[in-house]
Amino acid sequence: MHFGITMIPADYAVSPVRLAVLAEEHGFESLWLGEHSHIPVSRRSAYPSGGELPEEFSHFHDTVVSLAAAATATTELRLGMSTLVIPDHDPIVLAKQISSLDHFAGGRLLVGVGAGWNLEEIANHRVDPRYRVSIMCERVEAMKVIWTQDEPEYHGRFVDFDPIWQWPKPLQKPHPPILFGGQGDRVLERVLDLGDGWLVSGRHFDPDRVVEWSGRLQAMAAERGRGPVPVSYQDGPADRRSIETCAEAGVERYNLRVPAADEATVTEALGKLAELVSPFGP
């Protein structure tokens, strides 16, 4: 099982570039950065984890820019998006950004995608939040067409364009792995229909539920004649039993959170997490 690090890349915390260097130095396989373009002051959409929205959510560095900078400072660390709020993005522009970043990273990019939970944020991008899942799916489909065809075109309900030219194509073929975030049967269907893996959140699923639902996903994949589907556990609990449970169930990646804090605090946290996962190997 691989071990990754995740942090909300707040502007008052250690920089994402320095975090990437520290994560690589401590032997972690990947770094995962989330995304919000902004947080509306209205706060009508409830924070999915309950309680008040943490302050750092209003202070995100841009994910694509952060990972591009991190790519130049690391050599082996995989760079993950967890998750891009796809309804916030134009798919033609995002396709080019991801392709370029995959080149800068030497093919180390992992693309987590989601439909978003903050309805006001999505609406500010002139997207009707009621259709955000359908919009996400069409935009992901459209990007895959752009990445894999020389004269791509796409004609859907929410995305529509005639043949275009766009290069570069991603370094990874046919494109960087697409991991769908979320939970529920419909999410598993989307993983199998459009994705290369499942990115499941520890804010909603404890390790036992991850094992249960991962088993359900693999059974669904087998019914379709598909091999095992990679599962990445985001924000997994930082304890040995949870890690052992997921490792025994074949979870591919276990991502542990460090606080959005100064470099000294983050370095200390990374040291403790590296010690925790050391018995499980690289």
Report the C-alpha gap between 255 and 29 in whole angstroms.
9
Count of other CB atoms within 10 angstroms of residue 274: 17
pLDDT interval class at 47 (50, 70, 90): confident
Give a three-class secondary structure readout of 142-178: HHHHHHHCCCCCEECCCCEECCCCCCCCCCCCCCCCE
In the predicted structure, residue 142 carries a pLDDT above the cut 90: yes
pLDDT at 50 over 90: no
> Mean pLDDT over residues 176-185, rounded?
94
**pLDDT at residue 114, rounded to an integer:** 97
Give the angle 172-174-176 at the CA atoms, nearest 5°: 50
pLDDT at 42: 87
Q: What is the pLDDT of residue 152?
A: 98
Q: What was the pLDDT predicted at 63?
A: 96
**Angle (nearest 5°) at CA 49 between 88 and 122:** 15
pLDDT for 199-228, tens place per residue?
Answer: 999 988 999 999 999 999 999 999 999 999
Q: Is the pLDDT of residue 177 over 80?
A: yes
Separation of alpha carbons 191 and 229, rounded Å: 9
Helix, strand, coil percentages, rounded to 5, for the chain: 45, 15, 40
pLDDT digits (tens, 9 = 90+) for 94-128: 999 999 999 999 999 999 999 999 999 999 999 99
- The answer to whether 6 touches 79, Cβ cutoff 8 Å, is no
User: What's the predicted TM-score (pTM) here?
Assistant: 0.95
- In this prediction, residue 282 carries a pLDDT of 63
**pLDDT at residue 203 in the model:** 87
Q: Which two tokens stand for residue 168?
A: 């570069």
Structural tokens at position 101: 């970043």
DSSP string, 37-68: S---TT--SPPTTSSSPPGGGGSBPPHHHHHH
Question: Would you give the end-to-end CA distance of the chain in angstroms?
Answer: 7
The stretch 229-239 carries a mean pLDDT of 97
Given a contact cutoff of 8 angstroms between Cβ atoms, the answer to whether 103 and 168 are in contact is yes
Tokens of 190: 């989307």
The CA distances from residue 191 to 23, 65, 266, in Å, are 28, 26, 33
